[in-house]
Structure 1
Amino acid sequence: MHNSSAVATRECPVTVSIVVPCYDRMDLLERTLHACIGQTGVPEGLGWEIVVADNHPDRLARDVVARLQADSPVCLRHIPAGVRNIAHARNCGVAAAEGAFIAFVDDDEAPEPDWLVAHFSCLERTGADASFGPKYPVFAGGSAPDWDADGRFYTTDFHMKQDEGIYPLRWFPPQPRGLGTGNSMMRRATCLVGEAPFDEKLGRCGGEDTLLLLTLAHEKRRFVWCANARVWEFNEAGRMTFAYMCKRVQRSSRHSAMARLAIGHNSMTARMGIYGVALAQLVVYGALWLFRRRPADYLQICKALGKFGVGSLDFIPEPRASGAGVRA
């Protein structure tokens, strides 16, 4: 049964909180919030809310939230979240959230209408601690970049069965890589414990979600794939160059390696495992790159270098078109 009124939805005790951390992409944030507000199929009696954790010192999201609040059928709240530190923003959002289930969506993602119900039903059905869904790209200008015409490297889809388990710490057999909090739902009681579940020391360089998720996996929390919980991620022109993607995968790989070392207490075994995989990537894909010159091979080389600790941890600049506006 669909939500029938703002009053009915707002009066239900909150079970699910959607947390949206943001900084300065207000056009994209508005797109995200419209998609979150437009969730359908939510059962009568399942209370939910949207919490916007504003990480900009000028609180840029305040006006966006205020403009949407009046017509929102669910509680939509603006939470000041310090200054630029993505881990602090996530922690503020979690602290302010009332739900026992926390769904995360990034400010450049637009969930499909049945996204919330898909995640919640998945966790209820499986008893898992966290569920993760696919991300599909939308590109500025309407087309993928020439070097990746299919948008493969902008897509996160593990092509797993619905409710299938995810084991991100396993090297062999290979398990899906690239888990993040964007497009996920977690049980607060088992995944988001304490005042700061996201390590704020990583808030200016990223990787806080990787560290949390690998720590949870190390603690035997159950992760499952929710194929039906889809979001569409908008990619502006600044993200569409091959140079950007090289930096992105190298940085992500370095974050993953750092997290593995942290949960392994920097053990020699963990370090040698990471370096062994990196060396294999360099040898195999280095040879393939010499012969084939395919972007996919070079990106694997970038991943290997990231595992060796090469590359910047800073956020990657994403030049934005002046006055750009986006609507779903």
Structure 2
Amino acid sequence: MTQTHRRTTKIDVAVCTYRRAELDQTLLSLAVLTIPAGVQVRVIVADNDVTPSARDRVDAMRSAISFEIAYVHCPASNISIARNACLDHATGDFVAFIDDDETASQDWLAELLAIADTTGADAVLGPVKAVYANVAPAWMQRGDFHSTLPVWVADEIRTGYTCNVLLRRSAPSLAGRRFNIALGRSGGEDTEFFAHMHDAGGQIAFAEDALVYEPVPSGRATVSWLAKRRFRMGQTHGRMLLEAATGLGRWRAIALAGTKSAYCFVAAALLAASPVKRHRYGLRGIMHAGVVSGLLGVREIEQYGNLEKAPQ
């Protein structure tokens, strides 16, 4: 009787890092992942600093992690360069991305893989749960303004993010696809990446139990940080609309986004007594204002490499 052997599934877990001591906790959370039978994991750490500042930190963690760790130095201060380095060095069937200030739940990778197997999707997103410190405003914690979930449009997910995702490397929609280096300092490179992947026929699924946790530092627990982030998100969306809009279509899109922004600001004023609703509408108004900015061709504000440069 001939015995059949199941082929090993190989997964590269990619972590892009830039001067973050929290990388230690990220790697330790990967060390205790539940790995399904027949799955082999390798970790890729892409150091985006000018100097290889994370090398010693990664080397010190090797004894605590049973997986192979590939360290890649890919300067500098451009997240797209780091993400592309991870894709270039990936050799597995799948590549999963997690941020260097996040920690994975024990079943994170298993849950992503299970949904990939059952749906056949090209990309599987998981939720990112924000963890607030006591210094965060009460309304911010109640409204949970920092957690990340996918957005459904007409019962499908049309774009995604890299803070919790599994990619099927053999998918035609991902063949040769890379992150836009021009957006590597502003952000929005992941939104564009997944939107173009979807436009190429790629399916994006959601694994609701593939949870990762992200602490919210004091510098992010502010209205100004949220406003800047929402405006940049709007700029990215507006720029993508601009790629497809021509003639009067562009001005119709500007008018629509401007109307939505005004509506949200009015709603925020009328809901002044409810902090959660007021800020939710206000931030949405700022996002739509960002869409107008993007449609007018204004360059996106730079975030990566400028914010939260915590020393090692």
Match of 1:261 in 2: 242
Q: CA deviation at 1:281?
A: 1.7
Taking the aligned partners of 2:44 and 2:24, their CA distance within structure 1 comes to 13
Match of 1:305 in 2: 289
Could you say what secondary structure the match of 1:238 adopts?
Answer: coil
Q: Give deviations 1:26-84, integer Å, cap 9, x for gaps.
A: x21111111112211x1232111110000001212111110111231111121111211
Q: 1:154 aligns with which of 139, 146, 149?
A: 146
Structure 2 residue ranges without an equivalent (≥5): 1-6, 273-277
Match of 1:60 in 2: 53
Taking the aligned partners of 2:293 and 2:103, their CA distance within structure 1 comes to 33
What letter matches 1:298 in structure 2? G
Q: 1:284 aligns with which of 263, 271, 282?
A: 263
Could you say what secondary structure the match of 1:32 adopts?
Answer: helix
Q: In the alignment, does 2:170 pair up with 1:189?
A: yes
Q: How does 1:114-263 map to 2 (within 5 A)?
A: 114-139=107-132, 141-142=133-134, 144-157=136-149, 170=153, 173=154, 179-190=160-171, 191-194=173-176, 197-262=178-243
Q: Structure 2-normalised TM-score?
A: 0.85
Could you say what secondary structure the match of 2:64 adopts?
Answer: coil
Q: Give deviations 1:279-322, integer Å, cap 9, x for gaps.
A: 34223212212322311121111011100017852107545788
What letter matches 2:107 in structure 1? D
Q: In the alignment, does 2:18 pair up with 1:34?
A: no
Q: Give deviations 1:79-109, integer Å, cap 9, x for gaps.
A: 1112111101001111111112110111111
How many residues are aligned here? 295
Fraction of identical pairs, as percent: 27
Query: Cα 1:155–1:175, aligned 2, differ >3 Å: closer, same or farther?
Result: farther
What letter matches 1:182 in structure 2? C
The answer to which of 147-156 and 43-52 deviates more is: 147-156
Could you say what secondary structure the match of 1:125 adopts?
Answer: helix
Q: How does 1:66-85 map to 2 (within 5 A)?
A: 66-85=59-78
Is the Cα contact below 8 Å between 1:15 and 1:47 reproduced in 2?
yes
